[in-house]
Amino acid sequence: MVSLTARIRHALLQRRFDAAIGPFGAIRTACYERLWTSAAVNVNATLDDLGYGIYRIARGGRETFVSASKVMLDGPVTLMMAGNKPLVSRMLKEHGHPVGRFLEFKLDELELAESFLASLGCAAVVKPAVSGASGRGVTMGIRTPRDLRRASALASTYSRTILIEQQAAGPSYRLLYIDGEFVDAVEKRPPCVVGDGRRTVAQLVRAENLRRLRGAAPLSMQPLVVDVELKRCLAEQGLSLSSVIAGGTRVTVKGVVNENTAAENSSVRDRVHPDTIRRGAEIARLLRIRLAGHDVITTDISRPLAETGGVFNEVNTTPGLQHHYLIDRPEHAFPVMERLLDVLLGPGEWPR
């Protein structure tokens, strides 16, 4: 059983996360304002800033409202369904789409989760079962009951139920669909710091966050947060926050990719295997999601998932659109927002 002390500790960690991410809010607001303004110009639409992070975009007598990555496409029931990870995984499995083995449990059912972990014979991931976002509460590399208890305590601060699932091998890919049509794909690699032979990992993390805040162009919309996942990832490499890293040595600090930077994202739109594209479209139609961001984990996105053992890891509604612009080669970015505006402002059911 996870102690009350552990749960309080993780609740305090959440407060630290909120405090750390605060300064990045201005970067996020400015980035989305720039992206939506550019997209509106490119599709011959007008944009009005209504304040509070909300924009009205109009063209040819039609209008829509947007706020950061939120658009007027999917309804509340769709959002609720997609946010329930066990439900989505079960539906995908029933329709023949590859997902990892998983178990939903509560904190007072840790024995069930321990038995499940033992049956896997490999590492697991623990995450909030419902409504987790941006990698919060996710811990990878779970191998022991102690790992499981700590990760479960963290996940429980975001969701009453917890999900443990088999950890798939390979990078994470975000596949974006609009009305069942494949639009774009991005490879998302884990965040890293680079040693200089003088500073500790903790100091390198602080320096990295300052670099992100001071960058002339947006590098990331999130800071690197020191949490259970970061400490676990370091320990797996025989390191800690007090370790000094040799000059030029790149160290992965988290397996979860959400806190990476543009340099760790790449466009792979032309590399995705047709069968994976087809499956993604079927999943979007199955769940009735108009704007879907599928997270796929595989060792080779150019091969069928059946050959690589790859899986559909999550299905996201209101997926972060910045992932398709904050990439290592921005000139390769696909105009995702223009495509969205053509749908939102085009002929069809009204209002959207």
Are 74 and 322 a contacting pair, CB within 8 Å?
no
- pTM of the complete model: 0.89
Is 277:176 a contact under the CB 8 Å cutoff?
A: no
Q: Which tokens belong to 134?
A: 């941006």
Q: Which of 265, 324, 270 is nearest to 302 (CA)?
A: 270
Please give the pLDDT value at position 4: 55
Rg of the chain on CA atoms, in Å: 20
Residue 276 has which token pair?
Answer: 């994976």
Contacts of 133 by beta carbon, 8 Å cutoff, 6+ apart: none
- As a whole number of angstroms, the distance between CA 287 and CA 92 comes to 9
First to last CA, the chain: 47
User: 3-class DSSP state for residue 185?
Assistant: strand
CA dihedral for 84, 87, 91, 94, sign (positive or negative): positive
Nearest-angstrom CA–CA distance, 221 and 191: 13
**C-alpha dihedral over 168, 173, 175, 176, to 10 degrees?**
130
Query: CA 267 to CA 269: how far, in whole Å?
Result: 6
Residue 107 and residue 127: Cα distance in Å, rounded? 12
pLDDT means over runs of 10, the chain (352 residues): 54 52 81 96 97 95 96 94 94 97 95 96 93 77 93 90 95 97 97 96 95 84 89 94 96 93 96 98 97 97 97 94 95 96 78 37
